[in-house]
C-alpha cells in the first residue's frame, strides 16, 4: 500500500510532537551486549520490561555466552525465568537460539533481520529491537502499543504487524525508525493506553483524529498518566 502525501505530512507532525515530549528515549530493557538484549527481548513477550529487568541479572550472571546457554538444562533456565510467563516455551527458545548461534553464526548475534528471524522465538519485532538498540540499524518495532497508536493516529487501518511496519516505513525517514518506535511505545505505555487513554493530558490531542475516545477532563486524565518510575 502506498500512502498519500497528506498522511505523511500528518505523521511527521505527530512525530515532531512525540520527539519534543520524549527527547531522551532509551530501550527500557537492561542489557550490556547484543546477546543480552536478544534474550531480554524474547523474555519480554507477554511480559513487562520491568518484570524482565528483575529476572535478567541472575540469568545473565549465570549464562554469559551462547555455549553456557546451550549446555544448560531447560529446567535450570525455566527456574530463572519463571516469573516472566510462558517460561517453558521461552526456555526452549532461549536454549534453541543459542545453539543456532553456535552452529550457524559462530556464536555471534547476526546483524541482519533476515538472519535474526531464523533464530527460534525471534520474529520481526524482536529482530528490529536488537537491530535498532544493539547495532544502530534503524528498524520499526510494531508491538501492541505501536500498532494501536498507528491506527489511532490514522496512519493505517491494518492490524497485521508486518503491514503496519511496511506502511509506516513510508511515513517517517528511515534514520528515525528506531527512535519513532521507542517514542510510540513510550507514548502508548504512558498516555495513549489501550482501554482508557488520557486524551485530556495528551500533547498530540490537537491533531489526533481519535481524540475523545479516552478521558478528556485534564485533571482526571493526568491521574491516568504513567511516569518513568512506573517502568523501573
Q: Which residues are catalytic?
A: 125, 143
Burial class (CB in 10 A: 0-12, 13-18, 19+), 121: buried
Q: Note whether 41 and 129 are within 8 A (CB).
A: yes
Concatenated DSSP letters of the chain: -PPPHHHHHHHHHHHHHHHHHSSS---SS--SSHHHHHHHHHHTTTS-HHHHHHHHHHHHHH--SHHHHHHS-HHHHHHHHGGGSSHHHHHHHHHHHHHHHHHHSTTS--SSHHHHTTSTT--HHHHHHHHHHHS--------HHHHHHHHHTTS----SHHHHHHHHTTTS-GGGHHHHHHHHHHHHHHTS-SSS--GGG-TTGGG-TTTTSS--SHHHHHHH---GGGG-
- What are 225's three cell numbers? 498518566
Among the listed residues 49, 58, 59, the one whose alpha carbon sits nearest the alpha carbon of residue 28: 49
Amino acid at each position: 500500500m502506498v500512502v498519500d502525501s497528506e498522511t505523511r505530512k500528518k505523521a511527521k507532525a505527530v512525530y515532531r510532537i512525540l520527539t519534543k515530549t520524549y527527547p531522551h528515549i532509551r530501550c527500557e530493557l537492561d542489557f550490556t551486549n547484543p546477546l543480552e538484549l536478544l534474550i531480554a527481548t524474547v523474555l519480554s513477550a507477554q511480559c513487562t520490561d520491568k518484570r524482565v529487568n528483575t529476572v535478567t541479572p541472575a540469568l545473565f550472571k549465570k549464562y554469559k555466552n551462547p555455549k553456557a546457554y546451550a549446555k544448560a538444562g531447560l529446567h535450570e533456565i525455566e527456574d530463572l525465568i519463571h516469573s516472566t510467563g510462558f517460561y517453558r516455551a521461552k526456555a526452549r527458545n532461549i536454549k534453541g537460539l543459542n545453539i543456532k548461534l553456535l552452529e550457524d553464526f559462530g556464536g555471534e548475534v547476526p546483524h541482519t533481520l533476515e538472519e535474526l528471524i531464523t533464530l527460534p522465538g525471534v520474529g520481526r519485532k524482536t529482530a528490529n529491537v536488537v537491530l535498532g538498540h544493539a547495532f544502530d540499524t534503524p528498524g520499526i518495532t510494531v508491538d501492541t502499543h505501536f500498532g494501536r497508536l498507528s491506527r489511532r493516529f490514522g496512519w493505517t487501518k491494518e492490524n497485521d504487524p508486518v503491514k503496519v511496519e511496511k506502511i509506516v516505513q513510508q511515513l517517517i525517514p528511515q534514520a528515525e525508525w528506531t527512535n519513532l518506535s521507542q517514542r510510540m511505545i513510550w507514548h502508548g505505555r504512558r498516555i495513549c493506553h489501550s482501554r482508557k487513554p488520557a486524551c485530556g493530558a495528551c500533547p498530540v490531542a490537537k491533531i489526533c483524529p481519535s481524540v475523545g475516545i479516552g478521558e478528556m477532563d485534564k485533571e482526571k486524565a493526568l491521574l491516568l498518566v504513567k511516569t518513568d518510575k512506573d517502568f523501573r
